[in-house]
Chains A and B, each alone.
Chain A
Amino acid sequence: MVVLEDLRQIVGDRVTASPTELYCYSSDASLVGGMPDYVVLPKSTTEVAQILCLASEFEVSVTARGAGTGLAGGAVPVKGGIVLDMSGMNRIIEIDDDNLLVVVEPGIVLDKLNEALEPHGFFFPPDPGSSAMCTIGGLISNNGSGMRCVKYGTCRNYVLDLEVVLADGHIINTGSKMLKSSAGYDLTRLMIGAEGTLGVITEIVLKIIPLPETRKLVIASFETAETAGKAVIKTFSSGIIPSACEILDRTTIQVLKRCDPDLLIPDDDVVLFEVDGTMSSVDESAQRIVDVCATLASSIRIASGKSEMDEIWAARRLVGAAVSRLDPAKSRVYVGEDAGVPLKQIPNLIKRVQEISDEFDVPAMKYGHIGDGNLHVALFIDVMDKSQWKRLMHAADKIHRAAIDLGGTVSCEHGIGRAKAQYMDDQCGPALDTMRAIKAALDPKDILNPGKLGL
């Protein structure tokens, strides 16, 4: 209760210990759970620093949280303590398009940021499916990306500077407003993807880039995922880097059509290639994709226009959560959902996932960013049936191990959190000890988001 009173001294009534409110902060979209002792809504860097000083003094855990859309338990306080709900620090401090940058607080929602940038003719490219809800702070802390990272890269390519409050309450800036810098260790990149285990991000300088003049979508279907994979590699080899390159298997197509019965998409495995740029370059690139893939595809066409393209992308963004449309008795459980392998291994991963799905009799919808090797697997079960849960967890484990076997990763963009922490030894090898040493140096009392990343 001492801590609660002290927290009130710092933030007034923006702290709660109500069991109802605490419960709402005890989970994210994963299966990970953990009850906080207090939830605090800071409004400034100074408040965050004071809170961390307090937490350090009393050795209370602190877990930063954005919108709670995470899929690995990254923002779940598995060891209790304080949850810092950063959603109230959501200002756009400065849009400086002359210097190609924007300065924001971490609680800004991604779509809101891009809405504000659009009139300036700019955008921030990482575009996860949760863009309508997720915060920039959470996105950066997980090095999130999305469909367009095949061309534009992940968060790591866009963060120029972070204001970070360290475990003892000290405030540092990890970079500057420069588009490039070679001044010492790259602390900015260290903080990105650190899931709040090294510090709490309170202000962010992002590089922004001009909006493309136009986009076009090529819809290609293939008899097998392997052929689809070949077509993607052939496309890259021909000199085209699509702005999105998504694979949707047959099950995913069925779900998409349940979401929007008017979609004109073939029933086979489908690859959506998007190209962006100037009018003429987009026309040329789209046609080249059609030509390059013609001998491999069962069907291929360029979408009729912007509205068809927007409809297909809107349905694609929702598809991960829409699997219950196929079978209302079943729900998607977010496990084994973010594996990735080197590009050429994608057909192998798809094949292995199908074998695992058959072996454990757990249906799997497979879709994802084939252009960067990231496969989202949606396993769905009747959550009221305990035996299905057991099979599901075995299947997810095998998918993670298959990704590592194929030289890939258990998480491309969702983060490790608690849900995938057990794979960190196999994933990172001795590098995990280096990570532990960094953690110990920056957070000797282990108060920042403890129990995550397998540290």
Chain B
Amino acid sequence: MLVMKRLAEGSKANSDDLNCLNTCTTCGICTENCPSGVDPPQSIEDARRILVSSGTMTDTQSSLSERANFSGNVLGDSSSRIGWLRDQRGLPHKADLVYFVGCLASYRYPDIAAKTFDILRRFGAALLPDEKCCGSPLLRTGFDARELIDSNLTQIKDMGAKTLITGCAGCYTTLKNSYPDEFEVLSVPEFLAEHISELNLKPLELTVTYHDPCHLGRRHKIYDGPRKVIEAICDLKEMKANRNQSRCCGGGGGVRSGYRDLSLGMARKRLLDVPAGVDYIVTSCPLCIRNLNDAGGDGKVIDLVDLVSEAIQAIGK
């Protein structure tokens, strides 16, 4: 906040200012605990936007923007976005329900994308024909994401979609807050919790903990849905800091791409909150999964959908 005050007083931004502003994950725990009701992540994003619009940005920021705008995904991957889908025949062109996959699930977690779609398509979900990055990484780091948003929006309208479901917390915030309010947006945990009786879940002999992704928890107060699903399957042991006081995984706000050591350090700190005796750390955000696993989670960090898939006996008729 002081750095922003310094810039507002007329100082020219230097690299220290940029590093300071760009090392905020915008996780919002400060907002949650501020007695005055200040929302620093909003101010941080505003400051980044003002700086970017005047051409002041780090190299990481500019390459992220180029990558996302050029390739349509934040990873700059030129391969098919639905390579994870074995049978791509007969995908509907019209549907009420659309699964918005997101860049990370599409390219880094194809299994999670496939498992999620396996569940959702039984409820009639389709895919956008040419899904692009939702725009979140650009918006979080100060850029305009209009082109990506417009491309997705056109497809959403053409599909006639009434509801978008996403398994990525970052996509969820963006679809909810930065797209026109013309369709319902649901997170995968919310959807699963709503349809829990239709999932025919089989109990598993496991004890897991749940990591609240910042963009689902603090941003949208989605705390109970994922817990309801987990408790329908196995034992849940809460992390030391949980719900609105959860620590960030360290990956958000562009911090993982710009400041890897810091990002992994935050993730290691978060892993210290994991209670003893759990088999898995369940979450519902691919960025959290990636960062926590990279920081020592060693594959024990899984998606809620991984757990649900394991527990499914048969989907409702």
Binding site for B on A (CB under 8 A): 18-21, 23-24, 27, 259, 318-325, 328, 331-332
Contacts and interface: CB of A to CB of B under 8 A. Distances in A.
A20 B6 contact: yes
B205 interface: no
B20 A322 contact: no
Contacts of B36: 321-325, 331-332
B2 interface: yes
A19 B37 contact: no
A328 B38 CA distance: 10
A325 B37 contact: yes
B173 to A, nearest CB: 23
B202 to A, nearest CB: 38
Contacts of A325: 35-37
B59 interface: no
B37 A23 contact: no
B16 interface: yes
23 contacts: A18-B14, A18-B16, A19-B6, A19-B11, A19-B14, A19-B16, A20-B3, A20-B6, A20-B16, A20-B17, A20-B20, A23-B2, A23-B6, A24-B2, A27-B2, A320-B35, A321-B35, A322-B35, A323-B36, A324-B36, A325-B36, A331-B36, A332-B36
Contacts of A23: 2-3, 6, 11
Contact of A324 (B2, B20, B37): B37
Interface residues of B, number: 11
A18 B6 CA distance: 13
Contacts of A24: 2-3
Given A20-B6, A23-B3, A24-B2, A318 B14 contact: no
Contacts, number: 38
A429 to B, nearest CB: 38
B13 to A, nearest CB: 9
A19 B37 CA distance: 29
Contact of A259 (B6, B14, B20, B35): B35
Contacts of A318: 35
In terms of DSSP, what is the predominant structure of the interface of chain B?
helix
Given A259-B35, A321-B35, 6 more contacts: A19-B16, A20-B6, A21-B16, A23-B6, A322-B36, A324-B36
Contacts of B3: 20, 23-24
Contacts of B16: 18-21
A20 B3 CA distance: 7
Contacts of A328: 37
Interface of B: 2-3, 6, 11, 14, 16-17, 20, 35-37
Closest 5 CB pairs of A and B: A20-B16, A318-B35, A322-B35, A321-B35, A23-B6
Contacts of A332: 36
A324 B39 CA distance: 13
A400 B131 CA distance: 64
Nearest to A323: B36
Nearest to B16: A20
A36 to B, nearest CB: 13
Nearest to A320: B35
In terms of DSSP, what is the predominant structure of the interface of chain A?
helix
Nearest to A26: B2
A407 B20 CA distance: 47
A227 to B, nearest CB: 29
A324 B11 CA distance: 28
A191 B279 CA distance: 54
A327 to B, nearest CB: 11
A157 to B, nearest CB: 29
A24 B4 CA distance: 10
Instruction: Determine which residue in B11, B17, B20, B35 has the highest number of CB atoms from chain A within 10 A of its CB, and name it.
Output: B35
Instruction: Determine which residue in B3, B20, B37 has the highest number of CB atoms from chain A within 10 A of its CB, and name it.
Output: B37
Contacts of B35: 259, 318-322, 325
A20 B14 contact: yes
Contacts of B14: 18-20
Nearest to A259: B35
B21 to A, nearest CB: 10
Contacts of B6: 19-20, 23
Nearest to A24: B2
A318 B17 CA distance: 30
Contacts of B11: 19, 23
Nearest to B18: A20
A333 to B, nearest CB: 12
Contacts of A321: 35-36
A21 B37 CA distance: 26
B204 to A, nearest CB: 34
Nearest to B5: A23
A319 B11 CA distance: 34
Contacts of A259: 35
B261 to A, nearest CB: 16
A379 to B, nearest CB: 15
A39 B307 CA distance: 50
Instruction: Determine which residue in A18, A20, A23, A332 has the highest number of CB atoms from chain B within 10 A of its CB, and name it.
Output: A20
Nearest to A321: B35
Contacts of A21: 16
A332 B35 CA distance: 12
A164 to B, nearest CB: 30
A321 B20 CA distance: 25
A20 B20 CA distance: 9
A23 B9 CA distance: 11
Nearest to B13: A20
A27 B2 CA distance: 9
A198 B313 CA distance: 74
A151 B16 CA distance: 47
A18 B3 CA distance: 12
A85 B168 CA distance: 41
Contacts of A331: 36
Contacts of B17: 20
A227 B312 CA distance: 67
A274 to B, nearest CB: 21
A417 B17 CA distance: 29
A150 to B, nearest CB: 24
A277 to B, nearest CB: 31
Contacts of B20: 20
A324 B35 CA distance: 9
